[in-house]
Amino acid sequence: MPSSRGPQGEPGEDGADGATGATGATGATGAGQCTDVAAYKPSASEEVKAVLINGQAWVGIRSLTPAPPDDFAWVNLSDNTDFPEGACGISVSDQAGITNVETVAPNGRVWETTCTQNPGIPPTLTCTDDWTPVNALVETPPLRSRTMEGMSPHHLSKTLK
């Protein structure tokens, strides 16, 4: 005997939500989350730049004369011993023909290395020094963001005099 079906009924109510799934594993920290650039001109005829990109630190020098300027001669400082992993800022300065490059690690420690400037046309840099840590940042500096009640705003504590 053939069976017959009746008309389809109304949809039922939604069921309860299922249980939340387990949290996935934490991924690895990405390198190169920071990009930074710093520069100075030791003379009217030269320019030095430091660049931090994709977790790599670079320093370069170029001649500005005759115009147009030369391309930068770049040196990868990330290959120097003890380069701080996750560096996230860079600066560059000069003192008597020595180029000083500094960067900061995620833990707040500043690291530095130096390069020797080699004059010539074009000028070059020799950068073989290891990265060395600079003093750790002070966690609670002895600075006030506001004056203490009843104290002159120009008053310095004994530790700052």
Integer Cα distance of 41 and 67 in angstroms? 15
157 secondary structure, DSSP code: -
Strands 98-104 and 110-118 turn out to be antiparallel
| Per-residue pLDDT tens over the stretch 87-98 | 999 999 999 889
User: Which pLDDT belongs to residue 86?
Assistant: 92
Task: Indicate the pTM of the whole model.
Answer: 0.64
Output 44 or 22, whichever has higher pLDDT. 44
Structure tokens at 85: 């992993």
Q: How confident is the model at residue 115 (pLDDT cuts 50, 70, 90)?
A: very high
Q: Among residues 62, 67, 36, which one has the least CA distance to residue 124?
A: 62
CB 105 within 8 A of CB 87: yes
User: Which pLDDT belongs to residue 32?
Assistant: 44
Residue with tokens 């000083």: 100
| Per-residue pLDDT tens over the stretch 29-78 | 554 478 999 999 988 889 999 999 988 999 999 999 888 888 999 999 99
CB 59 within 8 A of CB 99: yes
Kindly report the average pLDDT of the chain as a whole number: 82
Q: How confident is the model at residue 3 (pLDDT cuts 50, 70, 90)?
A: low
